[in-house]
């Protein structure tokens, strides 16, 4: 009944947040345990009662400040200073700028929102097909959950009660490997699809672009430095970064007017509401699953299958790939970490930092996977393209991300190298 209702609502093009919420109501009714109706509102809003989630709207607001203040554009310019006259140069610049933005925002939605407004029009002017420009920008957004400061790492660290700063360090090597893998594939794709070549900058022009980008580079230093130094929490660091971006945009780049603040707050609230509604609905859906004791049953089942840590991780990856198709990564982490982390650390003796990186890499793939993939639908709504088309073009990148996930699975040193 519940499964039929879920897929029927999806087929009727009901927004996924309402699909999850309504499916939970249908389950309660069909189970006959109508007392659960009284807990439904508490579970719905309880999904948002997490201090780590407060950083999400702040990072989205940071994205608005960066865009309005010319900071994001100067990061694009600094990225172009490192790219010569190569075929597909703008595609590489796009990805490099995404790496810089990932080190600032930590939010896929915020990152894609900015880069869609910044990079896609420039790529279209240069002769790229819109679908290629949108796909590369969407794929670049997948770096945000892996490179610090990652929202997924923040939430995982809170639940697992481990150092978020060390968790950020654990994501550096896997994030760089994923980024370089995307760079290599885009280089091959550029020659296959005959992407336009970029013009070569003079040495003076490159120096000017890098110099202009230096104030913007202060923002990731503030975020990461405050977190790793223990000066501020990720949420407080996001607040400091917002203030810094306003000051840089207003007094250094002189492009920011204080009149933008109210419209920026409205846009940040709207974009945050889109994600937070999905998280709240996913929490209710997860509550129903937990009420059926499915996570604990799943953990017991896994222990009966194999005593190998690698096999355990492979099963977890396969399960997360499936679950990631129908749920947002943040509720998945909230749901599975309390159940699976003790099994991973005590039964299979897997390092918690290694487990966290594998977990987040697996969930990254779901961001561009139908039917829910938040990055997929944000990209589609901002670009006007069909989500199915973006998902198909992003498939090779998702396979690359899966390959990197498997690499980290079998070589834990890639996740723990900077931690210990």
The pTM (predicted TM-score) of the whole model is 0.77
Instruction: Give the torsion sign (CA, 140, 141, 142, 146).
Output: positive
The CB density around residue 86, as the number of other CB atoms within 10 Å, is 16
DSSP state at residue 343:
I
The CB density around residue 30, as the number of other CB atoms within 10 Å, is 11
The CB density around residue 307, as the number of other CB atoms within 10 Å, is 10
pLDDT at 52: 62
Are the beta carbons of 223 and 104 closer than 8 angstroms?
A: yes
Long-range contacts of 159-165 (CB under 8 A, 24+ apart): 159/333, 159/334, 159/337, 159/338, 159/341, 160/337, 160/341, 160/352, 160/356, 162/352, 162/353, 162/356, 164/227, 164/234, 165/227, 165/228, 165/230
Domain ranges of the chain: 1-46, 47-416
pLDDT at 303: 75
* Degrees to nearest 5, angle at CA 155 with 149 and 157: 85
pLDDT at 325: 80
Identify which of 246, 239, 268 has the alpha carbon closest to the alpha carbon of residue 113.
268
pLDDT at 226: 81
Q: How far is CA 246 from CA 62, 77, 239, 256, in A?
A: 9, 19, 11, 7
Q: What is the pLDDT along the chain (420 residues), one digit of tens a residue?
A: 666 777 788 778 787 778 878 888 888 888 777 777 888 888 788 767 766 667 778 877 887 787 778 787 787 778 777 776 677 788 888 888 888 777 676 677 778 877 887 788 888 888 889 999 999 999 988 888 888 778 788 778 877 888 877 888 899 899 999 999 999 999 899 888 888 877 777 778 888 888 888 888 788 788 778 877 778 877 788 888 888 888 888 888 888 887 887 888 888 888 778 767 877 777 787 777 667 676 667 677 877 777 789 999 999 999 888 888 877 787 788 778 877 888 888 888 999 999 999 999 998 888 888 877 778 888 888 888 888 889 899 999 999 999 999 999 999 999 999 887
* Degrees to nearest 5, angle at CA 179 with 178 and 183: 115
């Amino acid at each position: 009944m519940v499964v039929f209702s879920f897929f029927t609502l999806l087929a009727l093009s009901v927004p996924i947040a309402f699909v999850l919420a309504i499916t939970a109501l249908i389950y309660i009714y069909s189970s006959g345990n109508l007392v659960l109706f009284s807990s439904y509102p508490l579970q719905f809003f309880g999904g948002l009662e997490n201090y780590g989630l407060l950083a999400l709207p702040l990072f989205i607001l940071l994205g608005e400040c960066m865009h309005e203040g010319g900071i994001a554009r100067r990061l694009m310019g600094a990225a172009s200073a490192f790219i010569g006259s190569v075929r597909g140069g703008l595609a590489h610049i796009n990805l490099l700028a995404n790496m810089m933005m990932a080190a600032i925002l930590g939010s896929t939605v915020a990152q894609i929102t900015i880069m869609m407004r910044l990079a896609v029009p420039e790529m279209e002017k240069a002769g790229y097909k819109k679908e290629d420009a949108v796909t590369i920008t969407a794929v670049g957004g997948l770096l945000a959950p892996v490179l610090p400061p990652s929202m997924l790492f923040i939430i995982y660290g809170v639940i697992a009660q481990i150092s978020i700063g060390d968790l950020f360090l654990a994501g550096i090597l896997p994030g760089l490997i994923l980024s370089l893998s995307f760079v290599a594939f885009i280089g091959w794709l550029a020659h296959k699809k005959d992407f336009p070549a970029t013009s070569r900058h003079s040495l003076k022009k490159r120096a000017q672009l890098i110099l202009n980008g230096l104030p913007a580079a202060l923002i990731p230093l503030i975020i990461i430095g405050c977190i790793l130094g223990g000066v501020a929490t990720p949420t407080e660091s996001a607040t400091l970064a917002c203030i810094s971006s306003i000051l840089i945009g207003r007094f250094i780049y002189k492009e920011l007017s204080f009149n933008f603040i109210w419209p920026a707050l409205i846009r940040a609230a709207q974009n945050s509401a889109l994600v937070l509604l999905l998280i709240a609905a996913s929490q209710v859906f997860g509550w129903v699953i937990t009420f059926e004791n499915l996570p604990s049953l799943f953990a017991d089942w896994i222990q009966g299958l194999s005593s190998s840590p690698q096999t355990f991780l492979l099963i977890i990856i396969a399960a997360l790939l499936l679950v990631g198709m129908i749920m947002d990564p943040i509720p998945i982490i909230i749901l599975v970490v309390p159940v699976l982390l003790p099994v991973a650390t005590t039964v299979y003796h897997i390092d918690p930092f290694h487990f966290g990186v594998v977990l987040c890499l697996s969930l990254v793939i779901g961001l561009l996977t139908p039917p829910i993939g938040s990055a997929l639908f944000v990209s589609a709504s901002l670009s006007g393209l069909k989500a199915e088309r973006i998902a198909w073009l992003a498939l090779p990148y998702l396979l690359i991300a899966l390959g990197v996930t498997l690499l980290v699975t079998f070589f834990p040193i890639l996740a723990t190298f900077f931690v210990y």
